[in-house]
A and B are shown apart, each in its own frame.
Chain A
Amino acid sequence: MSYVPLADQEQELHHPHSWVSKYIWSQDHKVIAIQYGGTAIFVGVVALVLSLLMRMQLGFPGAFDLIDPSSYYQAVTMHGMIMVIYLLTALFLGGFGNYLIPLMCGARDMVFPFLNMLSYWIYLLSVLILMASFFVPGGPTGAGWTLYPPQASMAGTPGSDWGIVLMLVSLTVFIVAFTMGGLNYVTTVLQARCRGLTMMRLPLTVWGIFIATILGLFAFPALLVSAIMMTFDTLLGTSFFMPAIIESGSPLDYNGGSPILFQHLFWFFGHPEVYIVALPAFGLVSDVLSTHARKNIFGYRMMVWAIIAIGGLSFIVWAHHMYVSGMNPYFGFFFATTTLIIAVPTALKVYNWVLTLWEGDIRMNVPMYFAIGFIFTFIHGGLTGLFLGNVVIDMPLSDTYFVVAHFHMVMGVSPVLVLFAAIYHWYPKMSGRMYHEGLAKAHFWCTFLGTYAIYLPMHYLGFLGVPRRYYALGSTDFIPASAQDLNATITIAALFVGAAQLLFFINIFWSLKYGKEAGPNPWGSASLEWQTPDTPPAHGNWGDELPVVYRWPYDYSVPGAHEDFIPQNTPESEEPTVDEQHFDPDHDPSMADL
């Protein structure tokens, strides 16, 4: 079979004729991206409200009576699951992956537009199934987002009849949607890049999303398998995970199953999941930093290798979530070692972000605020990970608020700051208009400082030993009354941060209509998505002719160039190349003081 390069084919684009086929049943990756993003942000807001309800209970127990013990555990579970899967995974991959991959690859669309559309609608179905669990008898499951058996399907857990089944079904449907989308993203990156765009000329955003998608494709099957087996246990009475147990005084008809087997499967998915969220964030933030610092990303190759290394290592660290689970304790040696090894490539990424700013010409635009905020929170969250990854330190700290503070810092606040950075950064391309600068800065300060006020003190509750997943602390001998004051402070900060998100929504909608015209490339960005003939890009992205790429996406402040950036599709004849300047970083005098 002779191979016809994909991007050269006059791809048969599905050209929409009516409003419905243009915006509802759309096969345009940009519309699908916005559908994905909008849905994800909507459920994200639901999860945010749930977290505020929990904080009101923790900060001021008995004062509001908004949630009782049962709904508290349901809120814990739904908040976690929605944020991790239905918001972050969907928004980074379904949202930004969809929008940016074809544009950054110089393609007209994803390689399978119909499958892409199907992916969104199936994702929406999974969200609807999940939301339906709020309205069924017993409500959503309260098993914690880890859904550990046997608890998840026992009467002592909220939502153990309907809620857990809907959760498992929803996850299964989500995985189907993700696989459809994921095959699309990976194949598009591999096969649909425009002329001259080698893998090493891809922006780090594409690398991050690409590797994260591969992680997802390999990791989600573990969740799928455990969800199916757990559904069997719950509905058909099999004993994959269910041992002989007693429920409310009478023995249940299970025997011999292994709850720890579930935990292994769950975390074999669950740990890569952290990087499914983190790697796209790493990629996006790299591009934002480089563009606004007017400087190439420092150590591009190291950044790519680090993404690949982190992705690979993330499959052999899962049991660090299980140090105190009752598994064979000798596993601790192996998993502590692999976990701490991951710190090296991750640290290199942090160094390179900071070194990208070094000797840059930093434009303090709003995306830059968020990106730098990310570096700060990510350093903090990454360092606390060294506590938890080291098995002996995990012993006193696991299942305390230290863990909650750690993963919110590293997997909540940090990726969310990147999401905001990315939304503000690409908003002019997506909408053709600029956001409101003042509102956006106010949004940054409230979010950045507010979240730090929430999570820094929370670590100290964990040092003290305050357990997580407690509806109320009750009376203990070791928790001083001041811990409750701290909880109240944290709650006030959380409410403040929650309310501040209104600034974001107001800005996004207000600017759609009243924002200044942005022009095609307001940041002077070199990467391909800013070089489209239309802003926002039209269906098919590139007009009559596909772009041709002549250079990497980080040609900022090239010595001797006319401007401080050279777009990727500028032929070498039009701009001097670095080689002509005899550039040699090892003999660069500016490096002497490092």
Chain B
Amino acid sequence: MSLFKRITEKPWETKGVIGGLNPEGSFDAAPEKVALVIFLVVASVIFSMLTVSYYVRMELPDWTPLSDPAQLWLNTGLLVVSSILFQWARNLVSNGQGKYLMAALVGAGVFAVLFIAGQLVAWNSLQSAGYFVASNPANSFFYLLTGLHALHLLGGLWVWSKSLIRLLSLGEPQDVRLSIALCTLYWHFLLIVWLVMFAILSNT
């Protein structure tokens, strides 16, 4: 039933059980997935607010564009690999194949950790070149955006480590199926956020 039709029905006219034998769920998905998608919308609002602020602030006269360290290209590659490995793990687990699952899962996490390490290297090189957080608003935004993004990734790694531990202790792919699917979605989201941010940072 379309959303419009749903909210225009006259509830006092129909009696009885609508929707058959099952309880009502608005979406055909696990609640965890619904919650994650909503959270992704919330996170998108956070990053959009920062982006809007970025563009507003950029218009003011004291803005000096920051030349982004080349390290960021490498980091982008690391995050792409991490995302691909997660997708692989997800495909494996939904096909019921446990063989390379552990390798894919560990690899995905390790590349994400490498990405964060790479971001720290980028911070470090900026610092040693004299670009501190308070030197210029462009720098401030760079540190703020990359830092917030890395924090989100760290949150994902926490869930990743929990699934890894569960897989190690139980060894059953089915037990980690949902959390791998959710992690994959989250990783793709953070990859897109990063790509958008990277594009904005390097073009302004």
Q: Which of B15, B22, B34, B56 contacts A5 (CB 8 A)?
A: B22
Q: Across the interface, which residues of B come within 8 angstroms of A201, CB to CB?
A: 11, 18
A304 vs B31: C-alpha distance when bound (angstroms): 24
Q: Across the interface, which residues of B come within 8 angstroms of A408, CB to CB?
A: none
CB <8 Å contact, B38 and A183: yes
A8 vs B38: C-alpha distance when bound (angstroms): 23
* Count of chain A to chain B residue pairs whose CB atoms are closer than 8 Å in the complex: 179
Among A251-307, those with CB < 8 Å from B are 253, 255-258, 261, 264-265, 268, 296, 300-301, 304-305
- Most chain A C-beta atoms within 10 Å of own C-beta, residue among B10, B56, B57: B57
Known: A296-B12, A550-B17. A3 touches B25 (CB 8 A): yes
Asked if A146 lies at the interface with its beta carbon under 8 angstroms from chain B, I say: no
Asked if A1 lies at the interface with its beta carbon under 8 angstroms from chain B, I say: yes
Known: A193-B24, A225-B49, A258-B57. A200 touches B137 (CB 8 A): no
Asked if A177 lies at the interface with its beta carbon under 8 angstroms from chain B, I say: no
Asked if A237 lies at the interface with its beta carbon under 8 angstroms from chain B, I say: yes
Q: Which of B18, B32, B42 contacts A198 (CB 8 A)?
A: B18
Q: Please, what's the 1-or-0 string for B25-50, where 1 marks a CB less than 8 Å from any CB in chain A?
A: 11111111011001101100110011
A256 vs B62: C-alpha distance when bound (angstroms): 6
A239 vs B139: C-alpha distance when bound (angstroms): 10
- Most chain B C-beta atoms within 10 Å of own C-beta, residue among A199, A238, A301: A238
| A219 closest partner in B (C-beta) | B45
A265 vs B56: C-alpha distance when bound (angstroms): 11
A194 vs B19: C-alpha distance when bound (angstroms): 11
CB <8 Å contact, B13 and A579: yes
Asked if A89 lies at the interface with its beta carbon under 8 angstroms from chain B, I say: no
Known: A190-B26, A191-B34, A258-B60. A196 touches B18 (CB 8 A): yes
CB <8 Å contact, A190 and B25: yes
Asked if B6 lies at the interface with its beta carbon under 8 angstroms from chain A, I say: yes
Asked if A458 lies at the interface with its beta carbon under 8 angstroms from chain B, I say: no
CB <8 Å contact, A232 and B140: yes
Closest chain-B Cβ to A399's Cβ sits at a distance in Å of 25
Known: A196-B19, A261-B53, A265-B53. A554 touches B12 (CB 8 A): yes
Q: Which of A1, A221, A304, A308 contacts B42 (CB 8 A)?
A: A221
What interface size band does chain B fall in? Answer: 35 or more
Asked if A572 lies at the interface with its beta carbon under 8 angstroms from chain B, I say: yes
CB <8 Å contact, B60 and A112: no
Q: Which of B18, B23, B134 contacts A237 (CB 8 A)?
A: B134
Asked if B21 lies at the interface with its beta carbon under 8 angstroms from chain A, I say: yes
Asked if B130 lies at the interface with its beta carbon under 8 angstroms from chain A, I say: no
CB <8 Å contact, B16 and A572: yes
Q: Across the interface, which residues of B come within 8 angstroms of A550, CB to CB?
A: 15-17
Known: A6-B23, A179-B39, A256-B61. A572 touches B140 (CB 8 A): no
Q: Please, what's the 1-or-0 string for B142-185, where 1 marks a CB less than 8 Å from any CB in chain A?
A: 00100010000000000000000000000000000110010000
| B36 closest partner in A (C-beta) | A183
Among A193-241, those with CB < 8 Å from B are 193-201, 217-218, 221-222, 224-225, 228-229, 232, 236-240
Q: Across the interface, which residues of B come within 8 angstroms of A571, CB to CB?
A: 16
A188 vs B18: C-alpha distance when bound (angstroms): 19
CB <8 Å contact, A197 and B140: no
Q: Across the interface, which residues of B come within 8 angstroms of A384, CB to CB?
A: none
Q: Across the interface, which residues of A come within 8 angstroms of B9, CB to CB?
A: 198, 200
Known: A194-B24, A199-B7. A229 touches B31 (CB 8 A): no
CB <8 Å contact, B31 and A6: yes
A308 vs B28: C-alpha distance when bound (angstroms): 23
CB <8 Å contact, B31 and A196: no
A193 vs B25: C-alpha distance when bound (angstroms): 6
Closest chain-A Cβ to B13's Cβ sits at a distance in Å of 7
Asked if B94 lies at the interface with its beta carbon under 8 angstroms from chain A, I say: yes
CB <8 Å contact, A193 and B60: no
CB <8 Å contact, A229 and B144: yes
A239 vs B133: C-alpha distance when bound (angstroms): 10
CB <8 Å contact, B15 and A572: yes
Known: A229-B53, A265-B49, A572-B15. A7 touches B23 (CB 8 A): yes
Q: Across the interface, which residues of A come within 8 angstroms of B39, CB to CB?
A: 179, 183
Asked if A187 lies at the interface with its beta carbon under 8 angstroms from chain B, I say: yes
CB <8 Å contact, B133 and A236: yes
CB <8 Å contact, A261 and B30: no
Asked if A546 lies at the interface with its beta carbon under 8 angstroms from chain B, I say: yes
Among A572-586, those with CB < 8 Å from B are 572, 577-579
Closest chain-A Cβ to B74's Cβ sits at a distance in Å of 27
CB <8 Å contact, B22 and A195: yes
Among A161-187, those with CB < 8 Å from B are 179, 183-184, 186-187
CB <8 Å contact, A255 and B181: no
- Most chain B C-beta atoms within 10 Å of own C-beta, residue among A222, A308, A555: A222
CB <8 Å contact, B57 and A261: yes
Asked if A508 lies at the interface with its beta carbon under 8 angstroms from chain B, I say: no
A94 vs B160: C-alpha distance when bound (angstroms): 29
| A570 closest partner in B (C-beta) | B15
Among A550-594, those with CB < 8 Å from B are 550-552, 554-555, 571-572, 577-579
Q: Please, what's the 1-or-0 string for B116-151, where 1 marks a CB less than 8 Å from any CB in chain A?
A: 000000000000000001100100100010001000
Asked if A154 lies at the interface with its beta carbon under 8 angstroms from chain B, I say: no
A578 vs B13: C-alpha distance when bound (angstroms): 7
Q: Across the interface, which residues of A come within 8 angstroms of B49, CB to CB?
A: 221-222, 225, 265, 268
Among A521-545, those with CB < 8 Å from B are none
Q: Across the interface, which residues of A come within 8 angstroms of B63, CB to CB?
A: 256
A258 vs B38: C-alpha distance when bound (angstroms): 31
Q: What would be 11 A-B contacts, judged by CB atoms less than 8 Å apart?
A: A3-B30, A6-B31, A186-B38, A200-B6, A200-B11, A217-B38, A225-B50, A258-B57, A261-B53, A268-B49, A579-B15
Please report A residues at the B interface, Cβ cutoff 8 Å: 1, 3-8, 106, 111-112, 179, 183-184, 186-188, 190-201, 217-218, 221-222, 224-225, 228-229, 232, 236-240, 253, 255-258, 261, 264-265, 268, 296, 300-301, 304-305, 308, 546, 548-552, 554-555, 571-572, 577-579
Q: Which 8 A-B pairs have the closest CB atoms?
A: A256-B62, A552-B11, A7-B23, A193-B24, A238-B140, A237-B134, A572-B15, A196-B17
